[in-house]
Amino acid sequence: MSNLLEVRHVTRKFGGLTANNNISFSVNENEILSVIGPNGAGKSTLFKMISSFLPTSSGEVLYRGERISNLKPHTVARMGVVRTFQETTIFKSMTVRESIVVAQHLRAKASLAGYFWGTKSAREDVESFGRYADDLIDFLGISAIRNELASNLPQGNLRALGLAIGLATDPKVLLLDEPFAGMNHDETMRMVQLVRKVRDDRGVTVLLVEHDMPAVMSISDRIIVLNFGEMIAEGTPTEIQNNQKVIEAYLGSADDEIGI
């Protein structure tokens, strides 16, 4: 187990408001790590900084010792750190399979001009994209919606599509943004299985932001807790459940946030 991803003293300010203050933690290879916290704790901001969708105000994020913060999202993705979005962020008028084919951009060997002229490597790429997309669809068990337009999919499937798009890039680290939000118990359990499978079968390290406590507790190897932009706890699910600071933080917030 080595340090794959390292968050070092990361701070983000919006005007006078501090969304993240001096956050430091690391993610081990092949681990499932969750970031939790009440609404407005700064989870999303942290996520955006790790994937370089947002620059840090100070501090840095390292991946295998290389800085990945304050770059461009596509550069970070190229290095193998890929984020997913909540369900509204999809390619609306593409089918599931088309979306997955497009998402394999990083696996392409031919140049853009090569595709235009239809070179040999471009043709091979296209073929391999198709094969890989079909594999992925089978792997995720979503062959029933293979040719559905994304905009026609129900919520649960959208989450699977988001995961598929993320996986299509061949990531080393996958950042999942609230993968269980709005799901019922059965759907959540299926998704939990799927995320585990992604980690186990594909060796992807998973970092996720989530509200759903039971799911987080059952899936995570370790948990990071944020409150008001500060990191207040870090540990295994059991440690977190018994952490006095965490309980206080959650008790101080709205009822629906309490899931412990």
Least spacing, CB of residue 116 vs other proteins, in Å: 5
Q: How far is CA 234 from CA 33, 59, 250, in A?
A: 10, 19, 15
Least spacing, CB of residue 114 vs other proteins, in Å: 8
- Tell which one of 19, 46, 68, 94 touches other proteins (CB under 8 A): 94
Binding range to other proteins, per CB under 8 A, among 34-42, 74-82, 205-213, 232-240: 74-82
Residue 101 near other proteins by CB under 8 A: yes
Binding range to other proteins, per CB under 8 A, among 38-46, 116-124, 193-201, 217-225: 116-124
Cβ neighbour number for residue 204 with a 10 Å cutoff: 21
Nearer residue to other proteins within complex by CB, 66 or 186: 66
Q: For residues 31 and 206, what is the distance between their CA atoms, to the nearest angstrom?
A: 6
Q: For residues 182 and 222, what is the distance between their CA atoms, to the nearest angstrom?
A: 23
Nearer residue to other proteins within complex by CB, 114 or 235: 114
Nearer residue to other proteins within complex by CB, 130 or 235: 130
x-marked contacts with other proteins along 133-172 as a string, rule CB under 8 A? --------------------------------xx-xx---
With contacts defined by CB under 8 A, how many residues of the chain interact with other proteins?
38
Binding range to other proteins, per CB under 8 A, among 17-25, 27-35, 70-78, 229-237: 70-78
Taking alpha carbons only, the member of 169, 211, 210, 215 closest to residue 194 is 215
- Tell which one of 83, 97, 159, 222 touches other proteins (CB under 8 A): 83
Residue 131 near other proteins by CB under 8 A: no
Residues from 32 through 51 that contact other proteins (CB under 8 A): 51
Least spacing, CB of residue 21 vs other proteins, in Å: 24
Nearer residue to other proteins within complex by CB, 145 or 233: 145
Enumerate residues 6+ apart whose C-beta is below 8 A from 66. 79
Binding interface with other proteins (CB under 8 A): 51, 53, 72-75, 77-78, 82-85, 89-94, 98, 101-103, 105-106, 108, 110, 112, 115-116, 118, 122-123, 125-126, 165-166, 168-169
